[in-house]
Each structure stands twice: as structure tokens, then as C-alpha cells.
């Protein structure tokens, strides 16, 4: 599959249905259904996330974030994953559903 190609297509498709909203995972609201578009993190963090099933194209739900700008909890492939805020800041997502813009 062509990553770049597919991403482009997705954004175009979504334009017809919803307002396309490319944003940072940390800026999203709780309960939003999102699709990972890009992870701008370092090699190792990206590798770890990929092994855990988080890479561009993965659908995730933001479940909650810890108080005082703490880490975030996301639902990916049916289970919870906690991601530090610094890393979550580097994950760009596309709003799929229930978007609050």
C-alpha cells in the first residue's frame, strides 16, 4: 500500500463527508474517534508504537488524559495504551467522527 498516496485519498474522501480536521492528538477531545496520519517522533518511539499497532492509518479513540497535562490514554485495536504527553504531541490525527471543532 502506498502510505502517502492513501493518506491523500483519505483526506479527500473525508472532505466530502466532514470538515477535514488534521490536528495534534493532545488537542483532541475525549471520546473522539481518530485516525493516525503522521507520527513525528524519533526512531525508537515510532518503532515501539508500530509494534504496539499504532502507525499512520490506525484508527484510535482518545479515552482520557491524566490531570495537569499528564499522559493520554487511547484505545487502539480494542485495548488501552498510555502515551506520554510529549509523544502524544507528535502524533498527528485526523478526526473521523464525533468531531468537536
Q: Which is nearer to other proteins, 17 or 68 (CB)?
A: 68
From candidates 55, 59, 92, 99, binder to other proteins by CB under 8 A: 55
* Beta carbons of 96 and 22 less than 8 angstroms apart: no
* Binding segment (CB under 8 A) for other proteins, from list 16-24, 26-34, 65-73, 93-101: 65-73
Q: Which is nearer to other proteins, 56 or 94 (CB)?
A: 56
Tell whether residue 86 is a contact of other proteins (CB under 8 A): yes
| Rounded-to-integer distance, Cα 41 and Cα 37, Å | 13
Tell whether residue 16 is a contact of other proteins (CB under 8 A): no
Widest pairwise Cα distance in the chain = 40
Residues with Cβ < 8 Å from 4, sequence gap 6 or more? none
Amino acid at each position: 500500500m502506498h502510505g502517502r498516496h492513501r493518506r491523500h485519498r483519505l483526506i479527500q474522501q473525508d472532505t466530502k463527508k466532514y470538515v477535514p480536521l488534521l490536528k495534534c492528538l493532545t488537542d483532541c477531545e475525549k471520546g473522539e474517534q481518530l485516525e493516525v496520519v503522521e507520527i513525528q517522533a524519533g526512531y525508537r518511539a515510532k518503532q515501539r508504537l508500530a509494534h504496539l499497532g499504532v502507525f499512520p492509518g490506525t484508527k484510535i479513540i482518545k479515552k482520557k488524559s491524566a490531570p495537569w497535562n499528564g499522559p493520554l490514554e487511547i484505545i487502539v485495536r480494542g485495548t488501552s495504551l498510555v502515551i506520554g504527553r510529549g509523544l502524544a504531541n507528535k502524533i498527528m490525527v485526523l478526526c473521523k467522527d464525533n468531531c468537536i471543532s
